[in-house]
Copies of this chain bind each other. A is one copy, B any other.
Amino acid sequence: MGKRPTIRDVALRAGVSVATASNVVNGNRPVGEASRRNVVAAIEALGYRLDRAASALRGQSTRLVGMVVPDINNVFFAGLVDRVEREAERDGYDLLIASSSEDPAVERRRVEALIARRIDGLVVVPARDDSLRSLKGDDRPRLPPIVLLDRGTESAGFDTVRADCEAGGYAAARHLIGFGHRDIAVLAHSEHYQNIAQRIAGCRRALCEAGLEGRERVVCGGHNLESLRGAIEIELHRADRPTAIFALTNICALAAIKAARGLGLEIPGDVSIVGFDDFDWMFALRPYLTTVAQPVDDFASSSWGLLMRRLSGDAADAENIELPCALKVRESTGPARSRLKAVVEAHL
């Protein structure tokens, strides 16, 4: 029940210097076979464990990586954290996690706190596209490599990983248009995110191609489920209500479903819904949601790969990876009924 053994104890017991002991622990320099075996034996016997707090101070790596997400409670971000944690563990890194609550000020604080821990690198889903730009601007010494995930513009000089949201939006809108929909509501938390803007842009492109320019109505309802529901409900209440909703995030899709249900509208009979993001529990939604799936696994492995590349000293220009989305056609979308016909049917 003594104190925890230090590397000095190991060296002493193995009859070598601390330098040699250190070198066998973290293979920085070659060590003779005899010494190595003695050291390994001593480590075993003493139950020695490297004190990372100390090696962090002296060495140049902490084997600690930070991750900041807007809201871990959101299944999409939770999935990202889960995947990145796996990558990190595989490579012997620990993951320091922080949530920004979608607030750039909180985010800034959290990022600073992580940097104060001397993390080797940072994966961030920023609260705003440019919320980390000021970091880069400062002539800050020792800013660790940062990769922006999902959100964030290419311009700020960070490595980025995101989905090809324009194509995703385009595919979803084409699908809806193919069913004859002409009045499409686009539900988002805000237009002021590059990924959201691109989803909208893709949607617009499809509409234009079909000669339906300007027929989309963009509805923004914030990050809150209830406020989103309220926002889309207003549209659904109108006489010329949309026959389809393109919900731009998983929360938006839930809000759209709730609003439609609350108003007694059938999905997809009265209103079609296509969502964004895909989760295995979604089959339990009735109807099973047609959605644009983002490549969550690739998000994690790509961002991790980018980070590791920087950590291994690569000083190339910022890289911007764009990954494809996939439209999953399921049950929540169908042919548009004319509203007039719908009214007549309702009175039968």
Contacts and interface: CB of A to CB of B under 8 A. Distances in A.
Interface string A53-93: 11011000010100000011101001101100110010000
Nearest to A283: B258
Interface of A: 1-4, 49-54, 56-57, 62, 64, 71-73, 75, 78-79, 81-82, 85-86, 89, 94-99, 110, 112-118, 139, 141-142, 225, 254, 257-258, 261, 280-281, 283-286
Given A72-B78, A117-B52, A284-B285, A141 B3 contact: yes
A49 B112 contact: yes
Contact of A96 (B94, B257, B284): B94
Contact of A85 (B1, B2, B99, B254): B99
A136 to B, nearest CB: 13
A196 B281 CA distance: 21
Contact of A72 (B81, B99, B139, B141): B81
A319 B305 CA distance: 44
Contact of A286 (B78, B225, B286): B286
Contacts of A281: 225, 254
Contacts of A73: 78-79, 82
A84 B116 CA distance: 21
Contacts of A3: 141-142
Nearest to A49: B116
B258 A225 contact: no
A307 B281 CA distance: 33
Contacts of A96: 94-97
Contacts of A118: 51-53
Contact of A78 (B50, B52, B75, B115): B75
Contact of A89 (B110, B117, B225): B110
Nearest to A114: B94
Contacts of A141: 1-4
Contacts of A258: 283-284
A238 B35 CA distance: 66
A254 B94 CA distance: 32
B72 A82 contact: yes
Given A225-B281, A261-B286, 9 more contacts: A50-B116, A51-B118, A56-B57, A81-B97, A82-B99, A85-B99, A89-B99, A258-B284, A285-B285
Contacts of A142: 3-4
Nearest to A287: B286
